[in-house]
Amino acid sequence: MEKFFEGLQNKLGPIALKLNENKYLAAIRDGFMGAMSLLILGSLFLLFANLPIPGYADMMANLFGNNWATFFNVPYDVTMNIMTLFVIIGLSRSLAKSNGIDDLGAVLWALIGFLILTPISSFEVNEATSAFLPMANFSASGLFLGMLAARY
C-alpha cells in the first residue's frame, strides 16, 4: 500500500505543484479559504437552531420565547446570502497581491464590477416601478459571476 501512495505522489505531485503555482487557481483558493471561516460560523448558528435533541426546542422556547430560532437563523442567513461578496474580496485581494498592484483598489473595482454585472430586477407598485438587486445573486448562485468580476 505504501508503494501505491508513493507512486501516486510521484505521478500526481508535479501536476499538483503546477496547479498550485497558477496565480488564478491560487486566488480562487485564497478567496474561498478566506470566506470559509465566516461560512462555518454561520453554519454553526444553523446547527444550534436545529439541534436534533429531544426536548431541545421546547427548552429553548421556554428560555427565549417562541421565536427563538430566528435569533440563530440571522447569522446563518447573513453569511450564506452574501457569500459571493466574501469570495470576491478574498479572490481579488489575492490576485492583486500576486500581480503587485494595490489590493484595496482591486477589491473595490471587483465589487463595483460585480454589482454592475448583476442583473437588476424590477416590479410595479401603484404605477411606480422599483428596481432592486436580488439577494439570490449574492449567495452561491452568483459565485461564478463574482469570480469573473474579480478576475478583471
Amino acid at the residue 67: N
Which pLDDT tens digit goes with each residue over 86-105?
999 999 999 999 889 988 99
Element (H, E) at 61: helix 56-64
Per-residue model confidence (pLDDT) at position 152: 64
Sign of CA dihedral 144, 147, 149, 152: negative
Please count the other Cβ atoms lying within 10 Å of the Cβ belonging to residue 82. 17
pLDDT, tens only, 16-27: 888 878 888 888
For the chain, what percentages of helix, strand and coil (3-state, to nearest 5) are there? Answer: 80, 5, 15
Q: Which domain holds residue 109?
A: 2-151
Q: How many domains does the chain have?
A: 1
Give the pLDDT band of residue 112 (cuts 50, 70, 90).
Answer: very high
